[in-house]
Amino acid sequence: MRTLSIFSLALVAASCTVTVPRQPPRLAISMKLNATATATATTTAAATTTATGGATGGATVHTAGHVEVPVPPAPPPPPPVPVAIQGAEVVEFFGIPLEGAEDVVFVLDCSGSMDDLAQGAIAQVQVAPPPTDAPPAADAPPSPPDATAPAPVPTEPPPAPRAPRKIDIAQAELVDALRQLPAGTRMNVIFFNTDLDAFAPSLVPLQEAGREGLVAFVSEQVATGRTALVPAMRTAFLMNARRIVLLSDGLGNVGGDSSVLLRDAREAMRGSVRIDTIGLGRDQDAALLGALASESGGLYQPL
């Protein structure tokens, strides 16, 4: 019985065929990468990557992401350009254009040195002559001749017109600007010598009904005393105007020097105030006036 079993197993083994499967072919995959980056105005770019299998049953993979592309800052606006002192097509003050100024404070020196005669380019600025006595009315009857009156004595010719002073030209230029500024402009005027004289304690809207009162305030100023430049500018800074126009012909000698004013001005510039400056004559503080204008984006007019 044992011999038969072994024999039967041998027959079964001889009749069986064993097939060994072949090694499957290697899977060949070709990768195709496409990467694109497109910058947009929001500084965000989209990048996509695609992988495609070339064999049967290949796989496709998509990935998406954002790439921050820095956008260069916008170029700064062009620097302001002066216009003609006389005959300009826009409102101006000594060639500094005031068009578009929504609020502005004029700060003018009326110290004793402003009583000096104007020289150079500003001496050519036309100033209205002072008013004279009104002539007699045309319909008034002529006075009868006086037979006992002595013969008239020949008189000397009238003196030549007096050359304008610096204060005369400054007042004339400011009056011209104030008459042209549009109604509604928030503004103020500060004159300084040893003391300060402001038209109002804060910015006020320019109104047609009050325009001549403002002109009268400017015209009645007298050049005398010292130069309280620093206190005058501090007062202007406290009014929070976006434009300050400063006119001076000398060095500040009351309330602080140029270093104090520069410190105060740089603090005010953090609030984006623009300071335009006009310097009259040879004694003007050119370094200070130039720094105030250039650092705040304003104009400096040395005259």
Q: Is the pLDDT of residue 175 over 60?
A: yes
What is the average per-residue pLDDT within 257-261?
97
**pTM, whole model, 2 decimals?**
0.69
Contact 242, 272 (CB under 8 A): yes
Q: Which domains does the chain have, with CATH numbers?
A: 100-126+163-302 (3.40.50.410)
Q: Looking at residue 149, what is its pLDDT?
A: 61
| Residue 91 CB contacts under 8 Å (≥ 6 apart), including other chains | 97, 98, 99, 177, 180, 181
Q: Is the pLDDT of residue 3 over 80?
A: no
Categorize the per-residue pLDDT at 117 as very low, low, confident or very high, splitting at 50, 70 and 90: very high
Considering only CA atoms, which of 295, 25, 279, 49 is closest in space to residue 170?
279
- Mean of pLDDT over the chain: 81
Considering only CA atoms, which of 11, 19, 26 is closest in space to residue 56?
26
Distances (CA, A) of 44 to 38, 40, 64, 233: 8, 6, 13, 46
Range with the lowest mean pLDDT among 58-72, 76-90, 109-123, 221-235? Answer: 58-72
Is 204 buried (19+), middle (13-18) or exposed (0-12) by CB count in 10 A? middle
Contact 187, 203 (CB under 8 A): yes
Question: Which residues share a beta bridge with 94?
Answer: none
Q: Rounded to 5 degrees, what are φ and ψ at 16?
A: -90, 140
**Beta-carbon count within 10 A of 200 CB:** 14
Q: Is the pLDDT of residue 69 over 50?
A: yes
What is the average per-residue pLDDT within 232-250?
97
Contact 49, 63 (CB under 8 A): yes
Q: Is the pLDDT of residue 55 over 60?
A: no
